[in-house]
Amino acid sequence: MRFFLLFSCLIIIELSFGQDKPMRYDKVINQIPLGKEQLFDRVLLWFDRSFFNNEDVIKVTNRKAGMIAGKAVFYSGYKVPVNNIDSVNDDKFVNYNFEWTIWINNNYIYFSIPQIYINGTTLVTTAKKCPIVILAQSDEITDSQWNLAKIYLIKNLDVLLDSLQYKLLNPSAR
C-alpha cells in the first residue's frame, strides 16, 4: 500500500512538473538518394536561395562532420477563428528566435531546434498557460492564442523543412 501511494505521488509530481518543458522541434528528412557531400552542398544552396541574408542565418559549417548550425528569426503567422465562417490574422506570438543545427549523413538529414524563444526573450514551453500578459485581454483568450500560435509554429516549421526536402529531391526546381 505504501508503495502504491509513493508511486502515485511520484506520478502526480512528474505530471505537474512535466507539463512545462521547453518546446523543441526535431525533424528527420530521410530517403534522399544523395551522399553526404552532395547533401551538404544542396543544403547550403537551399539556404542561399531561401533566406534574404544567409550569412546572418548560418553561423557554423563543418563539412567533414556534416554539420551546419546557426541562429534564426522566424515569423510564424496564424489566424484566429472569429466565428464559424471567418478568421483573422493575429499579430501576437508571431516572432520567434532560435538556434538550430542540421546534421547531414548519407541519405538523411536531421534538423533540430532545442529551444525556441518568443520575441527573443521568453522561452516557449509546452505549458498551456501563456507566460506573457496581454493587457485588456482575458487570460483565457491569451492562453488560447498562445496554444494556437505554438501549433502553427510547428506547422510553419514543417512547411519550411518540406521546402528543403523538395529542393533536395528536385534541385532544378525554383
Q: Determine the pLDDT at residue 162.
A: 92
Q: What is the pTM of this model?
A: 0.78
Q: Would you say residue 56 has pLDDT above 80? A: no
Q: Determine the pLDDT at residue 7.
A: 38
Return the CATH architecture of domain 22-169. Answer: 2-Layer Sandwich (3.30)
| Separation of first and last alpha carbons in the chain | 66
Mean pLDDT along residues 96-100:
88
Mean pLDDT along residues 12-38:
76
Least confident range from 4-8, 124-128, 159-163: namely: 4-8
Q: Determine the pLDDT at residue 84.
A: 53
Q: Determine the pLDDT at residue 63.
A: 93
DSSP code at position 125: B
Q: Would you say residue 12 has pLDDT above 50? A: no
26: left (phi over 0), alpha (psi -120 to 50) or beta: beta
Measure Cα distances from 26 to 1, 9, 60, 62, 125 in Å.
Answer: 41, 32, 19, 20, 15
* Cβ–Cβ < 8 Å for 43, 165: no
The three cell numbers of residue 89 are 490574422
